[in-house]
Amino acid sequence: MAAPGWKASPMSSKEFTKPMEDHEKVNILMVDDQPSKLLSYEVILEELGENLVKATSANEALEHLLKKDIAIVLTDVSMPDIDGFDLAEMIRQHPRFQKTAIIFISGVHLTDVDRVKGYRQGAVDYITVPVIPELLRAKVSIFAELHRKRRQLELLNQQLEHRVAERTRELKQRADLLDLATEAIMVRDAEGVIQFWNSGAEELYGWGREEVLGRKVKDVISIKPHNSHGTLQPDLFDFGRWEGNLVHSTRDGREIVVASRQALKNNGDGALGAILEINRDITATLQTEEALRRAERLAAMGRVAGIIAHEINNPLEAIINAFYLLRDHPSLNDEARRYAQLGEEELLRVAHIVRQTLGFYRESQHPISISVPEILDNVLELQSRHFQLSQIQVEKLYETEATLFGFPMELKQVFLNLIANAVQAMPNGGRLRLRVRDCVDPRTGTAGISVCIDDTGSGIDSQHAKQLFEPFFSTKAAKGTGLGLWISKGIIQKYEGSIQFRSLHLASGSATCFRVFLPGQISGKTLKSRAVASDVPGRPNGDSRAS
């Protein structure tokens, strides 16, 4: 008779997940020094269908108790050596038998009844002799049923505990899994208080779990829509889900673009329970895509410009040659020749403009990776003679390793225009300062390179400011074509960049700064170390003469 429920050692899962049958037999130990009485109890209890175990002494009874799971002890009170009460006392002392039911069989002595009542705890009953069979059966049957129920409960409890343990293990695994994810995973409650924060989130935002749990998400991360990408709240609350890109801030003040997926989780009563959110950093991916897109567009524009230039230049050459031949043709009089000469001169102007606007001599059909400092050095070398002649002191501050895609000659043209203008503004000497650094365009959030060209020259009159970038506007009278800044701006816009200027007129002299922003691959290293140095990102960092 195996009694699994009573094993003292921890159970294996198979044993306690085994379903408990409603009528599994229980063991009933009958103790009496008279075998005839045992026999009569056996007869009476047989029809209950339980296992009946007989013992003719308390010692024998104890042996059975130790070997088997006994549900009920039915004992005679008056036995030689150890009587029924002593046996009951011994049984109760053992922790395993605290709840074993004991039924005493005794004559009608008041003293016995009183002693029975002394057993306040545990299932204890008594029955008087002569034994009434129905009464004995009823009492034993109740205790047997109680025992079965208790065992069922215990088994259920064990099963429950096991399931709780398993579930806990599963949850732990799931939490470990969430920590393995490189995505930032967070849960916040209806008030926006952060309740879960995985290691992906720690990594991405720079905030540790302990630092953010219990804080409102908006106090930790600043959240902005990326581009004009829909509205977050209505979608999330109407459909329970939302997907899209957002701009988040990290602990060190960087702005990152994340692909975010959010879902509402309602409580049982339908009220908002929590918001689950998974964010993936797509800043670098977007930058790469952006650079590729820009490179493709530049290549396409280059092809178009090349075709147009070809179609215009071929007939243009023929016409220029025709006017050249006409210019001093013997059959024409002086007036006609002068017209031909004017025609040739004007055509050369057209050719010059075509060359400047429809592309410089380009080295390659395809945009290549360009280092802006290299381009600037190249231009400075071209201008070095002018610096010497005009006694201009040049300062260089190159603070980036960033590169961008494009055509070096185009950028050379931009910086040559700006630097040549600066030189011409300082005929009597001065200081030219070039500063290149990584930055983020405050208006578009695009990462790129900022180039500031400062001069201490004559400055720009505010009345000219508005027309500065217009074609054929020149302050250099006959000396300029009025195309330099217009072309420069066109090139910069082609690169999706921007150009701004500022001119200060102070008592000590004037100063002018042109700032060119060009989108490009930021050299991550430089940007991060700058951000740590508490430089406010996104601030326009041009024009800062004081810095």
Partner 1 sequence: MLRDKPVILCVDDEQIPLSLRKCVLEKLGYSVLTANSGTEALEQLQRQHVDLVLTDMLMPGLSGAELAREIKQRMPQLPIILFSGVNEIPEDANYADVFLSKVEGPARMSATISEVLSQARKLA
Binding residues for partner 1, rule: CB under 8 A, are 302, 305-306, 309-318, 320-322, 324-325, 344, 348, 351, 354-355, 358-365
Q: Whose Cβ is closer to partner 1: residue 346's or residue 395's?
A: 346
> What's the rounded Cα separation, in Å, for the pair 196 and 200?
11
One DSSP character per residue, 460-491 reads --HHHHTTTTSTT--SSGGG--S-HHHHHHHH
Geometric angle at alpha carbon 516, from 512 and 521, rounded to 5°: 150
Q: Decide whether 232 or 348 has the Cβ nearer to partner 1.
A: 348
Ramachandran assignment for 268, one of left (phi > 0), alpha (psi -120 to 50 degrees), beta (any other): alpha
Helical packing angle, 484-494 and 334-357, nearest 10°? 30
- In the complex with partner 1, the residue whose CB is nearer, 176 or 363, is 363
| Nearer to partner 1 among residue 117 and residue 349 (C-beta) | 349
Q: How far is the CB of 461 from partner 1 (least distance, A)?
A: 34
Which residue's entry shows tokens 């050299």?
A: 523
Residue 203 or 363 with smaller CB distance to partner 1? 363
Specify the residue for token string 């200060």.
504
251 vs 355, beta carbon nearer partner 1: 355
Q: Which is nearer to partner 1, 263 or 326 (CB)?
A: 326
Alpha-carbon distance of 517 to 261, in angstroms, equals 33
Other Cβ atoms within 10 Å of 229 Cβ, number: 12
**What is the signed CA dihedral for 264, 267, 273, 278, rounded to 10 degrees?**
-40
Q: Between residues 363 and 395, which has the closer beta carbon with respect to partner 1?
A: 363
Q: Which residues, 6 or more positions from 278, have their beta carbon under 8 angstroms from its beta carbon?
A: 181, 183, 184, 185, 260, 261, 262
Q: Shortest approach of partner 1 to residue 416 CB, angstroms? A: 16
Shortest spacing between CB 476 and partner 1, in angstroms: 23
- Distances in Å between the Cα of 263 and the Cα atoms of 215, 238, 243 are 20, 11, 9
State in angstroms the smallest separation of the CB of 472 from partner 1.
20
Q: What is the DSSP string of 287-321?
A: HHHHHHHHHHHHHHHHHHHHHHHHHHHHHHHHHHH
What's the closest the beta carbon of residue 414 comes to partner 1, in angstroms?
16
Q: How far is the CB of 357 from partner 1 (least distance, A)?
A: 10
Q: How far is the CB of 316 from partner 1 (least distance, A)?
A: 5
Q: How far is the CB of 298 from partner 1 (least distance, A)?
A: 13
Pair 100, 71: CB distance under 8 Å: yes
Residue placing its CB nearer to partner 1 in the complex, 76 or 410: 410
Shortest distance in whole angstroms from residue 318 CB to partner 1: 4
Q: Write the DSSP assignment of 244-256 as a string of letters.
A: EEEEEE-TTS-EE
CA distance 137 to 44: 7
